[in-house]
Amino acid sequence: MSSFVGERVQLKKAGRNHKGCCPFHNEKTPSFMVNDEKQIYHCFGCAEGGDIFSFVMKYDGLTFVETVKMLADRAGVTIPDAELNQSKDDAELLKKKKWCLRLNQIALEWFTNRLETGPIADKARNYLKSRGINSEFSAQLNLGAAENEWDTLCTHLKQSGAPLELAAELGLVKKRPKGDGYYDFFRGRLMFPIISPRGEVIAFSGRVLDSEDDAKYLNSPDSVIFHKSMSVYGLNWALEHIRREDQALIVEGQMDLLGLKTAGINNVVAPLGTALTSGHVRLISRTTRNIVLVFDGDEAGARAALRALPIFIELGIMPRAATLPTGEDPDSFVRTHGADEFKHIVAHAQPLFDLFIDRTASETGSDNVGKVAAMQRIAPLLKQMSDPVEQSVYCRRLADRLGIEEAAVAKAVGNKNVNLPRFAARSASTDRRVIVPTAERTLVELMMQVPELMPRVLKEVAVDDMGDEFAVAMTKLIGEHYERTGNTNVSELLAELGDPEVEQELRAMALTSNKFTPEEAEQVLADCIKAIRERPQKESQRELNELIRQAEEKGDEKQLYDLLRRKHEMITADDKRC
């Protein structure tokens, strides 16, 4: 399981588990654990967890049926649709998604063919050649071309038996405003397929080849398989490189990405001709939190980078900004100066908030009016920082840049303890823990970890002697499961639970439990059984001692004598049992 999850989340070995930053909430300290032996994952920060099916459904946004099919295809197993027991609506949605992917694949094959042999081929290939991209490289990236005609793709789709209504939903064609029929949406353009990390063609982006067209880029509209605000170009190629280098570069356009890729810089993605969204940042930050924005070396590029700053602050991420020389973009720079010089600029990229402070201070001026204006612009974003240490650092940075007292900046952002780092309190929902007595908790851990001990547990442990409802419920559940299946598989146990809070506790227990040798397990089980058996007697003794104390305070000698006699009988009986 760690191998599969590790393709999406950067994991490091931590004892019997693998550990990384949770992909389902923003965190800087890793609290996301994956356990291969038990086939489960659990985040101790947000309490999200489950098995490989729930991970795929949550991470990739798939239905259960889609998840089963995807994992089956990956394992080389064919599951007939009749065995999936899906609802009619789910079946229809899955069928529609399959058709959407099929139509996009037909379109991709058409576009790539046009780049090789169509009337527009020479123009498109010459443009790519001028940008340093040869035919072999363009074929590797599945680049294509759309003819500058009204219905070449439309005709091809008809001949392929594709439903044009669905093709219109995908943005491959558009319905004619007057009369019947459809026409091609992409015309006279270099075509870039948008490919998911699973290798599926989910959309297209087309760059104009004729300078007379006002729209430089056209993108597919949102559909059941594509959402522009949550998709970036190049992630399918970049994902492994981003994970390996623990860094993602974000550039403005597809040609910037291709220019860097031809120079051997592969950890690069690009938004689809739109401003960065929280969806883009969330998608990338699942793999790394080390993000560098590489925008064009002009005023527009700097503004584009700074517009994204509030999104990063909201998500608790501080990216860096690589500043290129004026008039350069990533593609032109790497072709002129080479990959090493580009990497040098990336390595010396400054935090985006530093850039924001410097530019704001330069724009407003260094006089008192300018300092006040700069504070008014910068303080609102400082207030949004959730990390008190980070907020403290930038309060000091801003004070130094403006030449004012740090206490004044702290007061403006409402941080009275700017030099005293605080730690955010966990929410009540993540702090709710089931308190289990040590012996009973250890018994539950043993049952999950060493199924060979189950016959002795079933024979010698009386659940009625256990004092915690959680431990009682888990002991019964694990015992019943073992009697049915002969195992105590954690993933199977979790599937039988219907209480999310109990699931969270059981996952956490499974991931943090001790690892016992066979000899240790036998002895620990014996100790647990002994402690559980003695618990009722100890409880009775505590209650009796309290009654004796009360009788002494009242001076009730008769009651005191009776209670002392009962205590003596209880101790004698315990000695005989021992």
- pLDDT tens readout for residues 511-552: 766 667 777 788 888 888 888 887 777 777 777 778 877 877
> Which of 148-157, 376-385, 410-419 has the lowest average pLDDT?
410-419
DSSP one-letter string for 31-77 = -EEEETTTTEEEETTT--EE-HHHHHHHHH---HHHHHHHHHHHHT-
> What pLDDT is stored for residue 417 in this prediction?
43
Going by CATH, does the domain composed of 227-348 fall within 3.40.1360.10? yes
Q: What is the arithmetic mean of pLDDT over 249-274?
A: 92
Q: Which long-range contacts (CB under 8 A, 24 or more apart) does 35-38 make?
A: 35/1, 35/2, 35/510, 35/511, 36/1, 36/2, 38/448, 38/489, 38/490, 38/491, 38/510, 38/511
206: Cα separation from own chain's centroid: 29
Three-state secondary structure call for residue 289: coil
DSSP one-letter string for 180-197 = S-EEESS-SEEEEEEE-T
Q: Which of 141, 254, 157 is nearest to 206 (CA)?
A: 254
Residue 144 is classified by DSSP as E
Q: How many CA atoms lie within 13 A of 298 on its CB side?
A: 8
This prediction's pTM: 0.69
> What pLDDT is stored for residue 449 in this prediction?
82
Q: Is 254 a residue whose pLDDT tops 50?
A: yes
pLDDT tens column, 325-381: 988 999 999 999 999 999 999 999 999 999 999 999 999 888 889 899 999 899 989
> What pLDDT is stored for residue 422 in this prediction?
31
* Averaged pLDDT of the chain: 84
pLDDT tens column, 97-113: 999 999 999 999 999 99
Residue 246 zone, left/alpha/beta (φ > 0; ψ -120 to 50; rest): left
Query: Which positions ≥6 away from 515 have C-beta within 8 Å?
Result: 16, 449
Which homologous superfamily is 90-225 in?
DNA primase, catalytic core, N-terminal domain (3.90.980.10)
> What pLDDT is stored for residue 83 in this prediction?
60
Q: Is 165 a residue whose pLDDT tops 90?
A: yes
Torsion over CA: 553, 556, 562, 568 (sign) = positive
CATH architecture of structural domain 2-83:
Alpha-Beta Complex (3.90)
Q: Is 289 a residue whose pLDDT tops 80?
A: yes
Q: What share of the chain is helix, strand, coil (3-state, %, to 5)?
A: 55, 10, 30
pLDDT tens column, 92-101: 888 899 999 9
CATH architecture of structural domain 433-573:
Orthogonal Bundle (1.10)
